Structure 1
Amino acid sequence: MEGFTPDGEPERYETTTPTLYEWAGGRDALIRLLTIFYGHVLEDPLLEPVFRHMDAHHAEHVAVWLGEVFGGPAAYSGEHGGHAHMIGRHLGRGITEQQRRRWVSLLLDAADEAGLPADPEFRAAFAGYVEWGSRLAVLFSAPGAEPNPHEPVPHWDWTMPPWQPPAP
């Protein structure tokens, strides 16, 4: 019988759940996502003023951040200053709720355009982080905000692991 041992016991499959970083497609997929996304941001009248003077490598740096958050290499902490640096990029910017919502909407659309996995489990985790992180960005960017610069880079994981067929 399929799915059972010769003794009639259910077969046990060892599966390893990939990180969100691996499931998304790794560094190249995140760079593709953020390159597409920031291209749209610079065409958006609400967001363009916030990003008008961004560094030419901004998309790559954010891809490194997102990669670390999603379980990839700790390169943002090692090469870009970690959470303290990310907080510093938002201080005093005064990001509005309307800008946050547009940012989230454009990033979710860019995920489709970039061909990121569309399964419900990945998209729930991705959208959850985007919502959470963007709301922190609004808080950190508010006048007089004093976020703790000693926080580690957050690590985001599956709410529910993706469905995968059992290994043969």
Structure 2
Amino acid sequence: MEKQIPTLYEWAGGNVALEKLTQVFYEKVFQDDLLYPVFKNMSGDHSKHVAHFIGEVFGGPKIYSEEDAGSHYKMIGHHLGKMLDEPKRKRWITLLLESCDEQNLADDPEFRSALVGYLEWGSRIAVINSRETENPLDSAEPMPVWGWGETGGPYIPK
């Protein structure tokens, strides 16, 4: 019998773990002088939507795209015109990884490598898109999928 490799979603602890993680993370964001101005007007359920997005990208159920009526196109749209920069990106990652540690999210090297790889990839794309005024994606663009080490290839702007 062949061993089934769990998804990153399963390894992280599923939806409950990701929702708790994003809740703790956004509590930090609201107390951070650098990031608070970017997120001060976010909806009350923003942290859950982010957890659902990450969960779906990490191989979990399609809560973000089906129940939250989200899409990759809509997620990119949330970043348009935000004018994010490298200090904000780095702080975002630092606070999220601190939150992972506090929540005892899986800390084995393989999971952390995949998680940090995704955060680096996604946050750098967020910075690029934050300088745009129009969404560079087609509305039918599929959700990204992240696994145990593969990337999506080089970023090529449309």
The answer, yes or no, to whether TM exceeds 0.5 is yes
Matched, 1:38 2:50: no
| 1:70-128 deviation line (CA, Å, top 9, x unaligned) | 00011212232211110111111111111001001111111101110110000000000
Q: Which aligned runs of 4 or more in structure 1 are off by greater than 6 angstroms?
A: none
| Pairwise CA RMSD | 1.4
Q: Which moved more, 1:37-46 or 1:150-159?
A: 150-159
Gaps of 5+ in 2: 151-158
How is 1:42-61 mapped onto 2 (pairs within 5 angstroms)? 42-61=30-49
CA shift, 1:44, in A, is 0.5
Corresponding residue SS for 1:54: coil
**Aligned position for 1:96:** 85
Stretch deviating more after TM superposition (68-77 or 23-32): 68-77
- Sequence identity, in percent? 52
1:14/1:143 CA distance change after superposition, 3 Å: closer
Aligned equivalent of 1:137: 126
In the alignment, the residues of structure 2 paired with residue 91 and residue 158 of structure 1 have an alpha-carbon distance, to the nearest angstrom, of 29
Q: Does 1:20 align with 2:8?
A: yes
Unaligned runs of 5+ in 1: 1-12, 161-168
Name the stretch that deviates more: 58-67 or 79-88.
79-88
State how many pairs are aligned: 148
Shift of 1:51: 0.5
Q: Cα distance 1:143–1:155, how it changes in 2: closer, same or farther (>3 A)?
A: closer
The structure with the larger Rg is 1
Q: Residue 100 of structure 2 aligns to which amino acid in structure 1?
A: A
